[in-house]
Amino acid sequence: MTQPVIELDGLEVRFSGRPILKKLSAKLTGRSIGLLGPNGAGKTTLIHTLLGFHPASAGTARVLGHDIHERSREARRLIGYMPENESFIAGMTAVRFVRLMAELSGLPAKQALERTHEALFYVGLGEARYRRLETFSFGMRQQAKLAQAIVHGPQLLFLDEPTNGLDPPHRQRMIELIREIRKADDIHLVLSSHLLRDVEECCDDVLILKEGKIAASCNLEQERRANKKFIELETVGDHEAFARAIEQLGCQCAIDRRRRIKTVLPDRLEVKDLYRLANERQVQIRRLSFKRDSLEDIFLKAMEQPHGRV
């Protein structure tokens, strides 16, 4: 059995007695995991708790098999962290800053310097590595933050809102870098973002938080395959009677506010069966659209649930 990358076991976090994370339990095993949720859902608090910045009030978690209570230091040695907010030291060049982060992660000075040059070239800052960080554009500073997160060769990489505020070219470059990192065999990543497109482009699994609770946890491709025959119909005729006839075939069926019929076909049925039924019922199908659930669909369904996991 594959060891979970992150295992949450009744994890709770309170600030001044106020619950922030509420009995989180999940096993995350994917190569790339998306952490989604609206502002205030607890995404950054969860990352900080796994990093040991906040103590758990109850329950525990394990990161790459290391318990955050008993073996937090061992876990942190295996982690790279790109924070949402900047925390650069004034007057430092990119080389000096990333080298310092590498040494703080445990690399010897010579190896730290070698890895620093490699990391800066990798993220696209090779030509600017001797410039002071305060002279960098915002996009370049984001690249420097990524360089310091990967310089020591972590097994798990936390990325907190890595594309937030980037212009389109820098965002595209950041997404390309994240996807390249995902392909490596020796690293897992957790991407925390409020941007659904980023998670959909970069992640295989998703954990959705809502008000400090887990609203959904799923593998994106498996979730899409489970809804691979989602059909939306625009019809002329008695659409309510037609919808009832579709249900009699064994389909889930609903009529939305625009009077469109939405249905999910089981594996034994095909689109041609809908046309045959429409002909029998003297209903005209004006438009038929086929789609798989997008991450937006999954996210919205999770947000609609009043309590717990979907």
Whether residue 145 is predicted with pLDDT greater than 80 in this model: the reply is: yes
Note the pLDDT of residue 224: 64
Note the pLDDT of residue 98: 97
- Burial class (CB within 10 angstroms; exposed 0-12, middle 13-18, buried 19+) of 279: exposed
Lowest-confidence range among 98-112, 121-135, 213-227, 271-285?
213-227
Calculate mean pLDDT across residues 113-120: 98
Characterize the bridge pairing of strands 205-210 and 32-36: parallel
Whether residue 201 is predicted with pLDDT greater than 60 in this model: the reply is: yes
Q: Which residue has the higher pLDDT, 284 or 265?
A: 284
Which of 135, 209, 223, 150 has its CA nearest to residue 180? Answer: 150
Q: What is the DSSP letter of 53?
A: S
Note the pLDDT of residue 264: 82
Q: Share the mean pLDDT of the chain.
A: 90
Calculate mean pLDDT across residues 84-113: 94
Note the pLDDT of residue 172: 94
Note the pLDDT of residue 308: 53
Calculate mean pLDDT across residues 148-161: 96
Q: What percent of the chain has pLDDT over 70?
A: 95
Number of helices followed by number of strands (H, E) in the chain: 11, 14
Lowest-confidence range among 37-41, 98-102, 198-202, 218-222?
218-222
Domains plus CATH for the chain?
6-219 (3.40.50.300), 229-291 (3.30.70.100)
Per DSSP, helices labelled H in the chain are: 43-51, 72-77, 94-104, 109-123, 138-150, 168-183, 196-202, 220-226, 239-248, 271-280, 295-304
Whether residue 293 is predicted with pLDDT greater than 70 in this model: the reply is: no
**Using 50, 70 and 90 to split pLDDT, how confident is the model at 292?**
low
Cross-sheet strand order for the sheet of 156-160: 79-82, 156-160, 188-192, 32-36, 205-210, 213-219
List pLDDT tens digits, range 239-275.
889 989 999 988 888 887 777 888 888 878 888 889 9
Note the pLDDT of residue 227: 57
Whether residue 68 is predicted with pLDDT greater than 80 in this model: the reply is: yes
- Burial class (CB within 10 angstroms; exposed 0-12, middle 13-18, buried 19+) of 85: exposed
Report CA-CA distances (Å) from 103 to 81, 108, 220, 226.
15, 6, 37, 47
Whether residue 291 is predicted with pLDDT greater than 70 in this model: the reply is: no
Q: Is the dihedral of CA 238, 244, 248, 253 positive or negative?
A: positive
